Structure 1
Amino acid sequence: MQKFLLITLISAFFQIYPQISEKFDFAMNAFQNQQYAQANRLFDEFFNDYKIVDELYATAKYYSAESLLKLGRKDEAAIGFEYIVNTFYWSNYRDKALYNLGLIYFSTGKYDLSRQRLKKLLNEYPESDYYGNGLYWIGESYSVENKTKEAIQFLEEAVADKRNKKFADYSLYALANAYEQIGDYDNAVKYYDQLLTYHKNSSLATSAQIRIGICYFKLKDYQSSIVELKSPRLTNLSDDMYSESIYLLATAHYRVNEYPEAEQSYQEVMEKFPSSEYYRPSKYGLAWSYFQQKKYEDAFIQFDELSAESDTIGIKSFFWKGECKRYLNKLNEANSIYKEFLEIYPNDKLAEEAKYQLGVVYFNTNNTDLAIRYLISANSSDNDLIKAKSFAMLGEIELSKRDYKAAKNYFQLVLDNVNNEKSVYNRALLGIGIAEYHLNDNKGSLKHLTQLDKSDPSFETQKLNFFLAENYFTLNNYREALNRYNYSMGNDPEINLETIYGKAYCYFNSGDYENAAIQFLDFTKKYKDDKRYSDARLRLADSYFGSKNYSAASKIYEDLFSSDALLNINPYVRYQYAQALYKSGKTMDAINEFKNIQEKFPDSEYAEVSLFTIGWIYFQQRNYSQSIAQYNNVILKYPDTKLKPVIYYSIGDAQFNQGKYDSAIVNYEKVLAQYPSSQYVFDAVNGIQYSYVAKGNPEKAISFLGEFVSKNPGLSYSDQLLFKKGEIYYSLRQYDKAKSEYKNFTSAYPNSNLIPDAYYWIGKSARNLGQGEEAIFNFDKVVNSYQSSELASASILEIGNIYRAAKNYQSAINIYDKGINQLKKSNKVPEFQYNKGMTYLEMSKYQEAYSVFEEVVMYYPETVFGDKSKFELALIDIAGGRFSNADGYLIALAENRTDELGAKSQYYLGQSLYDQKKYNDAITALVRVRTVFSRYEEWLMRSYLLSGDCYVKLNDKRNAAEMYRAVLSKYRGTPIGDEAAQKLRKVQ
C-alpha cells in the first residue's frame, strides 16, 4: 500500500516539479541499493529545494531517518522519527516511525521512552502490522528492568497475537523466562514447550530445551529433567551451553540417586571442558557421587584435590575428606583432618560441624570425656541443626552411661528445636522414648515412640518396635506387645534375645500356654548361658502344664529339681510338679508329692493347699469318705487355715454325693454361719436347697431361700437366690406357684439382671397352664423391653408357637418379621426365617414358603436352619415335579449331615427317585439309609417299606417280601407294622 502511494506521489510530483524529481529519485534509488549515506545526503538536498510539507515530504523524512538508522546513527534517526510522529499525524509512515523509535530507545537502554512510543503505537494503531511486535518489545523492556509482572502481561498478549509472526518464538521464550524468574516453573515449562512444538527450527530451540531441563530440575522432577537434558535436540551447542547441560544432567541423576550415571556425566564435563566454570562443581559432584556409592577412597581423592583451594567448594571438600576417612573407619586420620580444618578455618560455618564430628569420633573410640567436650563446644554454633545433632549425640552418650534423666533432658532439647533435620528429630524421639521407658514413664515413652512410628516407621525398626513392645508389656497390654515383638527381630542379637523372652511372657501372661511353650523352648535352646535360663525352663514347664501337656511338664519339673538346687526346694515348683503328675494320670505319685510338700514345707502357702488338693483328688475319684477325712485333716493340722469355707463346702458336697443330705446341710450351714462374706456362701446356699429338694422336701428348700434372703438383704446375689424359688417350682411342674414366685421376684428386684429371665419364665409357666394371652403378654415384654437379652429371641419363637398352635398364622408371621427386623444381630434370625416359612406351609402358601426358604439358604447356608430349609425346598420341589432341584438339595444334605436330617434327606431322595420311576436308583439310595443312618429307627423302617415298594414295581416279590418282613419282625402290632403286614399279604 505504501509503495502504491509512493508511486502515485512521485508521478504527481514529476508532473509539477520535474526539476526536483531527479534528486528524490536518486535518493530513493540509493536507499533501495543500500547506499544509505548517499541516500541521506540526497534527501537533505531534496529538503533544501522542496519546502511543501505534504505526504511526499513526510515520505522523504521517513526514509531519511531510516537511512540514518541503517547507518547506526540512532540518535539522529530518532530525531527524524520523532519529527514524523509529532508532525505528520496523517502519514502512513507514522506507525512504523513509532515502532522504530521503540526499538531505538530499547537498544539504547531508554526503556521507559521505548514503552511510551510502543504503547502509543498500540493505542493509536490497533490494526497496524507492528502491533504484535510492539507487544513483544514492551514485554522485553519490562523483563530487562525485572518488572516481571508487567512483562508477563504484555508477553502473554504478544504470544496470543497472530500478527506477531516475526517474534513469535522470542515472545514465547521471553514469557517462559519471565515465569522462570518468578519461580513459576510449571508455566515456564509450558511456554518453552510451546516454542519447541511450534518453532522447531528457531535459533532459541536448543536454549529452550536446556531451560526446560533446568525448570524440571528446579521443580525437583529430576527424572523429567534427565529426559529433557538427554534430548537429541541438544546438538551443535556452544561449549558453555554444552558444559552447563551436562553438568545439570549429572546433578539431576545425582538427585534421583542414579549415582553411576551422575559419576559418568560429571567426568564428561571434567574431561571435555577443563576450563569451564562447571569444572570444579563437577569435580565436587563427582566426589559426592563416589561418596554416595560408598567409594570413600575415590571420594577422598576428589575432595582432597578440591581442598587445595580456599573457595567455597574447597572449604566444603576439606571437611568432607575428613568424613570420608570417618566412613572408612580410619578414625585417627579423620581426627587429624577435622583438627586441621579447625586450625585453618576456625570461623567457617563448618567449624562447628567439625567439632561435632570430632565428638562422634571420640564417642566411637570410647573416649567419652573428649566426645562430651567437643559436642558441648559444638553447641555454641548458631546452626540449629548442629546444635540438635550435638544434643542428640550427648543424649546417646548418657543413654550408654544409663543416666536416663540426663539423656531425656538432652533429647528434649533436640525436640524443642524447630529447625531440625528429620533423621535427628527421629533419633531424639527414639532416644527420649527409651530414656522414659527406663524411668518408668511408660505413657510418656509410648507417646514419643508412637509419634515416631506414625511419622517414620522405618526408622530403627527393630529398636523402635522392641521398646514399644516393652512399654505395652509393662502396662499389661500383651496383645499389642506381641504385635510389636513380632517386628522386633533383626540384626541386634541382644534385642533378639529379649524379644523371644518378652514374647514368651506375653503368651504366658495372656493364658496362651501353647505359644508360650514354643517361645520358652526356643529361648532355652538358643540361650543356655543366659542368667534367666532356669526361669525360662520353669515357665516352659508351667506352660506345658497350662496347655494340659502334663507329661512334658512333669518331666521338665523333674529335670529342674536335679539341675537347680534352689528350684528343688521351691514349694511353688514342687506344687506345680505334683499337679502335673495328677493331670498326667499319675494319681498316687501326685498324692505322695502333695504330702511331701506339706511335710517339707509346712509353713509355706502351698502346704495347706496341697493337703486340700489330696482331698479334692479323692473327691474326683468318688472316694468320698477318704475325701472327707483328708479335708478334716487340713483343719486338724492348720486350725486357722483360710481354706475353711471351701473345706466345709467341699465336705458338704461329698456328703451330698453320699446321700447324707442332713450332714451335708450341717456343713453347708457352717459356711453361712461362720463365713457369711465368703465367696462360697452362694454355693453353700445352693447346696442346702438342693439337699432339701433331694430329700423330697422342696417346700423346705423354698422357705429356706426366702428366710436366708430376708436375713441377708444386702448380698450381691440375693436376687439369684430368690429366683431359684421359681426354678424349683417350675422343675416340679407346679407352674402356678412358679409363676407366682417369678412375679414376686419382679416386684422385689426390679433392677436385677434376671428380670428378662423372670418375665420369660412367667410366660413359659402361663403357656404350660394354657394361659396363652398371659404368656404372649410376658414374652412380648421381654421382646420389647429387653432386646439385648438372649431370651428376647427365645420369646419370639415362643409367641410364634402359641399363634401357630391357635392357627393364628398371620400373627405368627408378624412376630417372626418383628424378630427379623428388630433383632438383626441375634443368631436366631435364621430360625425366625425358617419358622416363618413353615408357617406359610401350614397356611398352604407354598410359593411364599418357597421364597422364604430360599432366603435362608442364600443368607445362612452354614446354619442348621439353612439345611432344614433346603429339605423343605426339596419336598416342595418333589410335590411340584421338579425332581432335579429336589435331588440336588437332598444329595447335598445326605452327604454332609450325619444326623436325623441327613437320614430324612436320604430317605426322601429314595422317595423322589421312586416317584420318577427310577426304582433301581431308589433302592440304592434307600440302602444308604440302612448303612449310614441305621440308628434312626423311623427312617430305617420307612426305607424298608419303600424298598419293598420298589421291588414290587420291579416284580421282585421275594425281595419285596423280605423288606416288609424286616419291618414286621420289629414293629408287629404298631401302625407301621400293620402297614408292613398289609403290603406283605399283597405280594404273597
Structure 2
Amino acid sequence: MKKKTILYGIVGLLVFGILAPPKMYSKGITEEEKLLRVGIGAYHDGFYDISEKQFSQFIRDYPNHKKVWDVSYLLGKTLMNKRKLREARLVFSRIVHEGKNFEQMDYALFWLATIEMSLGNGEQARRLLHLAIKEFPRFDWIDYSYYLLGLLELGSSRFAEAESSFRKVSLLSKNDQFIRRSVFWLGVLSLKKKEYEAALSCFRGVWGGAETIPKEYAKQALFWLGESYLKLGRFEEARQHYRTFYERFKDDPLVSAVSWRLGFCNYRLGNIKESIEIFQSFRKEFKDSPLMSHAHYLLGEIELIRGDYSSSVKELNPILDGPKANRLAGITALALFWDYIHLGDREGANRVFQRLQKLGSYEEEKIFIQWLNAQVIFSEGRITDSLPYYFTVLDTKFREKALFQIGKGYFLENKFREAMTNLDILLLEFPNSSFSDESLFMKAECLLRLGNLEQALESYDLIAKRSRTSHWQLFALMQASQIYHFRDEHERAETALQRVIRDFPGHPLFYYAAFQLGNAHFRRRNLVEAISFYSMVLKGNGLELLGQAAFALGEIFYQQGKYEKALVSFENAARYLKETSIWFSLTYMEIGNLQKKRGRYEEAKKSYKIVLDQTEDDEIREAVKELLSHTRPN
C-alpha cells in the first residue's frame, strides 16, 4: 500500500507540473458575474487565496446559476493548486455526480482521478479514468488518461491491462514525452514477463531519445537496458551500459548495484582480474550495500575456481557467520563444503554439512549437499558409508543418479542381488537413462558372478543390439564371446568378436579380439585367415599381445616350413614378451628348435639355456633339458 501511495503521489506532482488548466472565459457579464471577475483574475495571477474566497462566495450566493459548474470547476482547480486535495475532491465529486450538463466533464473526471491517485485511492482513480475514456473517446488528454491508467494497472499488478493502456498511448498521442514514458513502462512489463528482447527494444528507444525526457526516465532506461542485456547473457553489452551509468550518475543511489553488476559481468566474461578489483573496491566503498554478501560470495567462487581454497573460505565464511539470515547461505555452504574437500579438511566439510542441515530452509541446497557428500564418500572408497546418503536423495531430482550409484555400490561390494534390485528399478523407471548401458552391463556381471550364464548373455545381448555405439557395447561383446567360448559355442563367440573388429577399430580390445580370432582360425588350421588376424595385432601397441601374436605367426611359418620367417617372428616376439612369462620361454624354446634344425647347435643351446635361466615351470624345464641332451652334431 505504501508503494502505491508513493506512486500516486509522484503521478499527482507530475500532473500538476505538466498540464496547464483549460482556460475559462466568461461569455458575458451580468450583475451576479461581477463577483467572478475578481476570482478569475486572481486565479490567473496565481492569487489562489483570493480566487478561492470569490468562487466559494459565488457558489453559496448563486447555487442555481447557469455557470455554477464552471465556477465549481475553477474552485476545484484552485484548491488543487493550494494542495487542498480533500476539499478539491469534494468539489469535483459534486460536479461529476450533479453537473450532468457540464461541458468539461471529461476534465472534471480526469482531475478527480488524479486527486484520488494522489490520495492513494488507486481503485477509485482507475474507475474514474475508465469512465472518462469510455464516455469521452475524443478527450484532448485521452493519451495522458491511458498513461495514468497504465501506471495504476501496473501498481496493482494487472500487467496485461497496464500493457494495453501503455500501447494505446503510442497509438493515440502526438506527445513524444508521453510516448517515450509509455515505452519505458512497456519495457518494464516485458522484463516482468521475461521477454528480454522486447525489453531491449523498448529501453533502447527510450535511451535513444534521452534528451527529450526527464533525466530520471533516461537514467532508469539506461539501468534497465543493462539489466535486459544481463538477463540475455550478453555480458559485454551489459557491461558497457553499466559502465556508462557508473560514469554519468556517480551520485545516484543505484550506483552501488551498478558497481556490483560491473564486477559480475567481468566475472562472466572471464575478466577475473578486473572482476576481483571491482568487488574489492565495492567492499570498501559500499559497506552498507545489501549486495555485500553477494560480493563476498562471488569473490569466494572466483577463488574456488582459481584453486585458492583458503582464500575462498575466508570470503565465504562471513556469509554464514553473519547475524542475519541470508538467502545465499545455502549456495555458500555448498561452495565451502567443496573448498574443505579440496583442502583435505574432512572435518571442516562435515561441519558445513551439519550446519546446512540445521538451517530452516534451503531444501534444494540440503539435497545437493547430501548428494555431494555421498559422492565424496564413495570416491574415498567408503562405499558402504555412502549408501545412506544416496538413499536420502532417492525421492528428489537425483533419483536416477542415486539408483545408479546404489546399484554400482552394491556391485562393488559383491552384493549382487541388492545391486540387481536397484539397477532393475533404474532401468524400469528411466529406460532412456544415460546410465542404462552401464547398468545393464553391471546387471549382466552380477548374473555372471551368480552363475546365471543364460540371463547374463541376455543382458549382454541387449546392450550389443542397441543402435548407439558405446564402450559398454564393446565390453558386452567381449564378455559374451568369453561365455560362448566357455560353452563351446565357438561360432557365436567369433560373431561377437567380428562385431568388435567391425565397430571398434583402434580400441585396445580390437587387437585382443583379433588375437582371439587368429587363435580360432589357427586351431582350425585356417592359416591364411589366422595370419591376417595376427597381422592386425602387430599394428597395435599392446606389448604382451604383440609378443603372443608374433609367437603365433612364428608357429604358423614353422609349420609351413618357412623357417626364416618363423625365426624372425619368434625373435620379434621375444622383444615384446616379459622374461618371466611362459610365452617368453616357449618363444626361446622354439628359437632353439629352429637353430637346431638348421644345424646351429651352439645358438640352439644358448636359446635353451635362456629358457632354463628364466622359467620356473617344471614341465618346460624338463622338456628343455631333454632337448639340450640331444643337441649335438650327429
TM-score, normalisation: structure 2: 0.70
Q: Give the alignment partner of residue 520 of structure 1, picking from 538, 545, 552.
A: 538
Separation in 2, partners of 1:370, 1:225: 47
Q: Name which of 383, 392, 400 aligns with 1:380.
A: 392
CA distance in 1, matches of 2:312, 2:475: 38
Shift in CA distance, 567/357, structure 1 to aligned 2, threshold 3 Å: closer
Deviation, 1:324, is: 0.9
1:172: Cα distance to partner?
1.4
Residues in 1 aligned to 2:71 and 2:109: alpha-carbon distance in whole angstroms? 16
Partner residue in 2 for 1:25: 37
Q: Give the whole-Å Cα distance in 1 for the aligned partners of 2:85 and 2:474.
A: 81
1:63 is matched with 74
* Residues 27-74 of structure 1: CA deviation (Å, up to 9, x unaligned): 22332333323321222123345456334x433221210111122222
Pick the aligned partner of 1:182 from 193, 201, 212: 193
Q: CA deviation at 1:514?
A: 6.4
Match of 1:291 among 295, 300, 304: 304
The reply to whether residue 131 of structure 1 matches residue 142 of structure 2 is yes
Equivalent of residue 435 in structure 1, options 431, 442, 455: 442
The equivalent position to 1:324 in structure 2, one of 322, 325, 339, is 339
Q: CA deviation at 1:93?
A: 3.1
Give 1:461-860 correspondences, 5 Å limit.
467=475, 470=478, 476=496, 478=498, 481=501, 483-486=503-506, 498=509, 501-502=512-513, 517=535, 519-520=537-538, 522-523=540-541, 527-528=543-544, 535-539=548-552, 541=554, 551-557=564-570
Structure with larger RCO (C-alpha < 8 A, sep 6+): 2
Secondary structure of the corresponding residue to residue 244 of structure 1? helix
Matching residue of 1:670: none
Alpha-carbon displacement from aligned partner over 1:414-442 (angstroms, at most 9, x marks no partner): 56667x9x9xx64x346315425645433
Equivalent residue in structure 2 for 1:277, among 270, 276, 290: 290
- Structure 1: distance between partners of 2:417 and 2:319: 45
SS of alignment partner, residue 392 of structure 2: coil
- 1:39 maps to 51
SS in 1 for 2:397: helix
Deviations 1:564-607 (A, max 9, x none): 99779999x98xx99xx9xxxxxxxxxxxxxxxxxxxxxxxxxx
Structure 1 position 557, deviation (Å): 4.1
How far apart in 1 are the matches of 2:560 and 2:410? Answer: 44
Cα offset, 1:176, TM superposition = 2.2
- For residue 277 of structure 1, report the CA deviation from its aligned partner: 1.0
- Number of aligned residue pairs: give it: 535
AA of the residue aligned to 2:123 = D
1:546 and 1:283 map into 2 onto residues whose CA distance is 78
AA aligned to 2:66 is D
Query: Corresponding residue for 2:451?
Result: none
**How many angstroms apart in 2 are the aligned matches of 1:385 and 1:295?**
31
* Cα deviation, residue 83, structure 1: 3.0
Q: Is the 8 A contact 2:548 2:583 kept in 1?
A: no
| Alignment match, 1:444 | 462
Q: Helix, strand or coil: the match of 1:204?
A: helix
Structure 2 residue aligned with 1:84: 95
Deviations 1:593-638 (A, max 9, x none): xxxxxxxxxxxxxxxxxxxxxxxxxxxxxxxxxxxxxxxxxxxxxx
Assess if the C-alpha contact under 8 Å between 1:176 and 1:187 holds in 2: yes
Q: Within 1, Cα distance between the matches of 2:39 and 2:560?
A: 119
- The aligned runs of 1:945-984 (5 Å cut-off) are none
Deviations 1:865-888 (A, max 9, x none): xxxxxxxxxxxxxxxxxxxxxxxx
Q: Does 1:303 align with 2:310?
A: no
| Change in 2 beyond 3 A, CA 1:546/1:26 | farther
Counterpart residue type for residue 362 of structure 1: I
Alignment CA distance shift 1:348-1:62 (3 Å): closer
In structure 1, the partner of 2:123 is 112
Deviation, structure 1 residue 447: 6.5
In structure 1, the partner of 2:605 is: none
What residue is the counterpart of 2:448 in the other structure? none
1:147 and 2:167 equivalent? no
Contact 1:520–1:539, Cα closer than 8 Å, also in 2: no
Change (3 A) 1:265 1:388: farther
**Post-superposition shift, 1:509?**
8.4
Q: 1:337 aligns with which of 347, 351, 354?
A: 351
Conserved in 2, the CA contact under 8 Å of 1:411 and 1:431?
A: no
Task: Give the conservation status (yes or no) of the 8 Å contact 2:122–2:152.
Answer: yes
Q: For the Cα contact (< 8 Å) 1:541–1:552, is it kept in 2?
A: yes
Contact 2:374/2:389 (CA < 8 Å) preserved in 1?
Answer: no
Distance 1:191 1:128, change over 3 A: same
1:637-679 Cα distance to aligned partner (Å, 9 max, x none) = xxxxxxxxxxxxxxxxxxxxxxxxxxxxxxxxxxxxxxxxxxx
Instruction: State the one-letter code of the partner of 2:296.
Output: K
- Say yes or no: does 1:54 pair with 2:66: yes
1:908-939 per-residue CA deviation (whole Å, 9 max, x = no partner) reads xxxxxxxxxxxxxxxxxxxxxxxxxxxxxxxx
Q: Find the aligned partners of 2:306 and 2:560 in 1 and give their Cα distance.
A: 53
Cα distance in 1 for residues equivalent to 2:560 and 2:54: 122
How far is the alpha carbon of 1:444 from its aligned partner? 2.9
The AA in structure 1 aligned to 2:388 is: I
C-alpha change, 1:165 and 1:348, in structure 2 (3 Å) is: closer
For residues 539-578 of structure 1, what are the alpha-carbon distances to aligned partners after superposition, in whole Å with 9 as ceiling and x for unaligned? Answer: 454798999998444432478799899779999x98xx99
Q: Which residue of 1 aligns with 2:620?
A: none
Cα-to-partner distance string for 1:954-979 (whole Å, 9 max, x where unaligned):
xxxxxxxxxxxxxxxxxxxxxxxxxx
CA radius of gyration, larger in: 1
Letter in 2 for 1:125: F
Cα distance in 1 for residues equivalent to 2:560 and 2:295: 68
Alignment check: 8 A CA contact 2:515 2:534 kept: yes
The residue type equivalent to 1:245 in the other structure is V
Aligned residue in 2 for 1:98: 109
- For 1:236, the equivalent position in structure 2 comes to 249
Tell me the C-alpha RMSD between the 2 structures: 4.6
Q: Which residue of 2 aligns with 1:362?
A: 377
> Does the 8 Å CA contact 2:497/2:514 hold for their aligned counterparts?
no
Alignment CA distance shift 1:508-1:337 (3 Å): farther
Gaps of at least 5 residues in structure 1 are 454-462, 489-496, 582-988
1:86 shift after superposition: 4.1
SS of residue paired to 1:385: coil
- Unpaired runs of at least 5, structure 2: 1-19, 446-455, 482-492, 522-528, 598-634
The aligned counterpart of 1:209 is 222
CA distance in structure 2 between the partners assigned to 1:201 and 1:356 by the alignment: 56
Q: Contact 1:323 / 1:334 at 8 angstroms: preserved in 2? A: no
Q: Which amino acid aligns with 2:538?
A: F
How many angstroms apart in 2 are the aligned matches of 1:263 and 1:24?
Answer: 71
CA-to-partner distance for each residue in 1:688-723, whole Å, 9 max, x for gaps?
A: xxxxxxxxxxxxxxxxxxxxxxxxxxxxxxxxxxxx
- Equivalent residue letter for 1:207: Q
SS at match of 1:450: coil
Q: How far 1:275 sits from its partner (Å)?
A: 0.8
Aligned equivalents of 1:234, 1:6: Cα separation in 2: 48
Among all aligned residue pairs of Structure 1 and Structure 2, give the percentage whose two residues are the same amino acid: 13
The letter of the residue matching 1:368 is I
**Kindly tell me: are residues 233 and 59 of structure 1, through their superposed partners in 2, closer, same or farther at Cα, counting changes over 3 Å?**
farther
